[in-house]
Structure 1
Amino acid sequence: MLRTLFSRKNITKLSIIPPKAAEGRAGIALVLIVRNEERHIAEWARFHLAAGADFFVVYDNGCTDDTIPILRQLIPEEQLSVIPWDQKLRDGVTGREIHNQVLAYAHAIRNFGPRFRWMACIDADEFLVPVQDRSLGEALEPLKRCPNVSLPWHNFGRCGHQEPPEGGVIPNYTQRAAHPASGARGVTNFKVIIDPVRVTAVKVHSYETDGQTATWNDAGKMFNLSARNSEAFYSSERLQLNHYYTRSEQELAAKIARGSNQTVNAARHAQRVRRNVANIEAETVEDRSALKFLERIGGL
């Protein structure tokens, strides 16, 4: 108790009471927190609409560009909710910063979760790719007994681009880190597709469901949360999470200049990002999974 009281670390985990399921709940909702993503947000939205996402909960973290108007133009009104979310909040007793993404995800689960069988909280540089099927719903159908499914990052680097190329992210970035599994060379984390009515604790990259720390890979195999860093956990049998970590060098420099979404030392943040990029690009393989999906459905 005293250790928590005097800790200076940010609050990155929130416990929640799971929402009650609405009658007839179905489909998948995507939760996104954005700030000035106008260059790529149209491609992100079109891709996930084509992949069968049923609803989009967008948290506007102080956009000053056309990110939100683009989303409103592309996504039907009945499938979109935009929520102002430009804030930094701290615990009133300890002064610890509360992670703004975690707050958004907890809010989305409680307020939108009852309507949907699945929910995924991802970023604008992350694409949920059905590996064999024609939609996210088809890919998730064999996993319906799972309360959550952890997907490892498949990290894509600059792919030799100094400036943003014409034609979008998916066709221009096809080289990724060769080792998605944790513990190997590269930068690995996870995003999780959840059954929102079973979530009892929220972090950015992990959840507790039914009060337990178990998680499932996309082959439907259960592991303790701590074991998903093992080679045995790795699977991209049905779904792959493509994480376009840097895009071009110009955009990488802008990412570093923009800083972290938490209050951290700028120089250390820049060093960490550059180190991550070097690890991602140290050993790469070609990955055309997103292009193959688009070819399978006839494009966007």
Structure 2
Amino acid sequence: MTATGHLDSVADGRVVGWAWDPERPQRTVEVFVWLDDRFAGRALANRERTDLKAAAIGDGRHGFQFTGAIPPGTRTVRVTTAAGEDLRRSPFRLQAELLPPAAPDHDGITVLAIARDEAPYIEEWIAHHRAIGVDRFLIYDNASTDGTGDRLRRNPTLADLVEVVDWPSSRYAPTIGPQPAAYADALPALQRRGGWIVVIDIDEFVVPLADDSLPDLLARFREVPALSLCWKVFGSSGHVARDDDRLVQDRFRFAGRATLVKSIARAGAIQSIGCHAPLLTGGSPVDELRRPIANGSAAPSPSYRWGQINHYFAKSWAEWEAKRDRGRAGPAAGAPNWRRPDSHFAAMDHAHEYDLGIVRFRPRMLRVLADLFPDRAARARAAGRGSPRPGTRSAVPVPTRLHPETLRPSAGPVRGHFDVPARSAGPARLPAERPARVAGWLFDPAGRPGGRRTIRLRSADDAALDYLIAIEDDRPRADVARHFPGLPERITANSGFDVTIDLRAMPHGLYRARLGVRFADGAAWTTHDWTIRIG
């Protein structure tokens, strides 16, 4: 006898039912979901249901729930066993009158944000969102002292793209913060304009993960009044000093997952705008799996199937200090929670995974940046050549807090060598009281894209002391290219590096140093270590 079961309901993006195998009642049955005879996904029938237990259907742990996108216009939902047999009541036919009406694919996208002293970042932020399909920007300038709003107003190329509203403290009541007051002020005009409203901060970047633009992403959710995307929180990546010339998305690549969201809502469906999600005139915002947003701010669990919000919360330590000192935009000035404690930096300095989701939009963003902000584009290009200017920053070892699979060996070793410090009879010594220079060469013979060149320092005495140092320096090495004539020059010609490392935070002792290249699915390392003594 094969597995049997029942398709109970299809509603609110969820397919619910049960399945079990009477001959092998302890086995968990896997079911397969089909939308108009196209495979949509699978689910395990292992959820506990008291009604099944009461009906003597095994131990009652045979329920399933499939949560996924059910596009508008879907007519039938089928659920089958692995043998291809339909459960009872499958196929389930959706009634046309119950389907939500399809909204227009794209009727304008406006980004609403409040900014204070964001001049080093706002031009890259505008260029990125323009590159992914945003039509207009409404920026409330909250008494900036660095010319954030003035710079945007003076740019003639932004006349029909960016609207700047002065927002000094005299414009809102002293008992509330500038952010909620700005949102309330903006809502009537946004609703007259219509379309989609994206509410984010200047340190947040919307990143479509499976589509070529934000309009394409929103077309997947034409029936929902508000879509909420989860944060991906980016840490300092070990940076201590600020570097206003390099792009934010180039400096910070280490991130962690989060349930907090930011939302994109239809203007006509908004009753009031919230920091994370709006209050709607009917219904509630949903995440990309069409799950309701809990408490107006968080998804049930992190999800990154269709999109994410890159949240560059902390940046470098120097930039964090500036952010901390200018206070938060939500609470009223002087309120107990107006000034962030330094514990927020530690809590948000994530380095669990290396995220390149935004990189595929980088060429398009650079073209927009050159068109709208040629000075900023020129600085970014100059900063990307060779090593950083002397004294700009020192690389900082980051404790290895990555998922284990990120550092597991992948196919094939890489080739590399430390020229400085030079190998000697004993361990090379690096001073801990001042920045130390490390130089050499490193390349991946296979030329795999997306690699991140890295120095790894592991304590010879304490396995818990394991540090990574990102190599963000490409230097010409003609000698290396000549030494490997069988490899393409694109792999070997710029394989050199020369970095300065700040070791003051590292415990003194003996370390094993190894060069490697990290990828999304693992890492490739040199086959031998160098022994280094710190301190």
Bucket of the pairwise TM-score, normalised by the shorter protein: 0.7 to 0.9
- 3-state DSSP class of the match of 1:294? helix
1:205 pairs with 2:283: no
For 1:258 and 1:247, the matched residues in 2 are separated by: 15
Greater relative CO, 1 or 2 (CA 8 Å, sep 6+): 1
In structure 2, the gaps of 5 or more residues are 1-104, 368-535
- 1:286–1:196 CA distance, 2 compared to 1 (3 A): same
- 1:269–1:63 CA distance, 2 compared to 1 (3 A): closer
- 1:246–1:75 CA distance, 2 compared to 1 (3 A): farther
| 253, 257, 261: which one aligns with 1:174 | 253
The aligned amino acid for 1:133 is D
Cα deviation, residue 273, structure 1: 3.9
Maintained 8 Å contact 2:271/2:280: yes
For 1:278 and 1:161, the matched residues in 2 are separated by: 13
Alignment deviations for residues 59-93 of structure 1 (CA, whole Å, 9 cap, x no partner): 11112223124334285311221111112643xxx
- 3-state DSSP class of the match of 1:162? coil
The two structures, once aligned, show a CA RMSD in angstroms of 2.7
1:284 corresponds to? 352
Correspondence list, 1:124-273, <5 A: 124-165=202-243, 166-177=245-256, 179-181=257-259, 189-212=260-283, 214-219=284-289, 221-223=290-292, 225-226=294-295, 229=298, 231-232=300-301, 234-261=302-329, 262-263=331-332, 272-273=340-341
Maintained 8 Å contact 2:209/2:305: yes
2:149 corresponds to? 68
- 1:266–1:222 CA distance, 2 compared to 1 (3 A): closer
For 2:159 and 2:365, the matched residues in 1 are separated by: 25
- 3-state DSSP class of the match of 1:223? coil
- 1:75–1:222 CA distance, 2 compared to 1 (3 A): farther
- 3-state DSSP class of the match of 1:103? helix
- 3-state DSSP class of the match of 1:110? helix
For 2:322 and 2:341, the matched residues in 1 are separated by: 12
- 3-state DSSP class of the match of 2:160? helix
1:50 corresponds to? 131
- 1:282–1:251 CA distance, 2 compared to 1 (3 A): closer
Q: TM-score, with normalisation over the residues of structure 1?
A: 0.77
- 1:25–1:141 CA distance, 2 compared to 1 (3 A): closer
For 1:252 and 1:298, the matched residues in 2 are separated by: 25
| 115, 125, 144: which one aligns with 1:34 | 115
Q: Name the one with the larger strand percent.
A: 2
Q: TM-score, with normalisation over the residues of structure 2?
A: 0.45
1:115 corresponds to? 193
Maintained 8 Å contact 2:113/2:140: yes
- 1:25–1:174 CA distance, 2 compared to 1 (3 A): closer
Maintained 8 Å contact 2:234/2:350: no
Cα deviation, residue 100, structure 1: 2.1
- 3-state DSSP class of the match of 1:32? strand
- 3-state DSSP class of the match of 1:226? coil
Maintained 8 Å contact 1:25/1:115: no
Cα deviation, residue 266, structure 1: 8.2
Maintained 8 Å contact 1:201/1:211: no
1:82 pairs with 2:161: no
For 1:276 and 1:240, the matched residues in 2 are separated by: 21
Alignment deviations for residues 225-272 of structure 1 (CA, whole Å, 9 cap, x no partner): 33974544x3222221011001111111111122223336688665x5
For 1:298 and 1:249, the matched residues in 2 are separated by: 26
The aligned amino acid for 2:270 is V
- 3-state DSSP class of the match of 1:143? coil
Alignment deviations for residues 195-245 of structure 1 (CA, whole Å, 9 cap, x no partner): 111111332222221244x221123x142533974544x322222101100
For 1:266 and 1:112, the matched residues in 2 are separated by: 29
Maintained 8 Å contact 1:130/1:139: yes
For 1:230 and 1:41, the matched residues in 2 are separated by: 28
For 2:342 and 2:134, the matched residues in 1 are separated by: 33
For 1:273 and 1:71, the matched residues in 2 are separated by: 31
Q: Name the one with the larger helix percent.
A: 1
Sequence identity (%) = 27
For 1:161 and 1:202, the matched residues in 2 are separated by: 34
Larger Rg: 2
